Amino acid sequence: MLSIPDPLHPAIVHFPIALAVLVPALALAAFVAIRAGWVPARTWIAVVVLQVALVGCAWLALETGEDQEEKVERVVAEHHIDEHQDAAERFLYIAIAAALVSAAGLLQGGRGRAGRAATLVAGLAVLAAGVAVGHSGGELVYKYGAASAYAKAAADSPGTGAPAHTTRSSDRDDDDD
């Protein structure tokens, strides 16, 4: 039987990041193939579908993060979480814009060509936003100890081998860079 991970957010966040890397590569390959006449322009639908999937995954990642925010705020300073959430929202909005731009690539003639070219640029913006949100999320976990919000629960369960202590990152000096 399939069990849903708890917390769910860490299991979900890798999908939009992976798509943020893969979609621009696929868009470039499709752009070149369509331009060279190797495949018909309708092949671009695959890029649009993946862009929409990226938006859906980004939205789901944002929602699962919001669901777990209160628990993580017990061990991580709120401003660090807010920075990550702001980056996640920017990522979602840029992904939505890229999906809309990619749909223009389905148009005929010069408008479709322009839409496909614009999608390449939009894909780079999505990738940059994905790197930013991934970096801030990684900092929450590895620098500020967000995972310790869940490690305490695991430590209370017999036989888990999880550490029995947690460290509040708000007690640490944030200027250690």
- DSSP conformational letter for 73: T
Q: In whole angstroms, what separates CA 169 from the centre of its chain?
A: 23
Instruction: Quote the pLDDT of residue 157.
Output: 52
Instruction: Report how far residue 75's alpha carbon sits from residue 59's, in angstroms, rounded to the nearest whole number.
Output: 25
Token pair in block for residue 100:
């809309």
Amino acid at site 88: A
Q: Where are the domains of the chain?
A: 9-157
Question: Region 155-166: what's the mean pLDDT?
Answer: 47
Question: Region 125-153: what's the mean pLDDT?
Answer: 91
174: helix, coil or strand? coil
**147 or 32: which leads in pLDDT:** 32
Could you tell me which residues come within 8 angstroms of residue 125 by beta carbon, excluding any fewer than 6 positions away?
94, 97, 98
Q: What is the pLDDT of residues 82-134, one digit of tens each?
A: 999 999 999 999 999 999 999 999 999 999 999 999 999 999 999 999 999 99
141: helix, coil or strand? helix
Question: Region 149-158: what's the mean pLDDT?
Answer: 63
Q: What is the pLDDT of residues 161-172, one digit of tens each?
A: 444 444 444 444
Q: Tell me the whole-structure pTM to 2 decimals.
A: 0.83
Instruction: Quote the pLDDT of residue 166.
Output: 46
Which of these, 113, 123, 111, 91, lies nearest to 16 by C-alpha position? 91
Instruction: Quote the pLDDT of residue 82.
Output: 95
Q: What is the pLDDT of residues 37-75, one digit of tens each?
A: 999 999 999 999 999 999 999 999 999 999 888 889 999
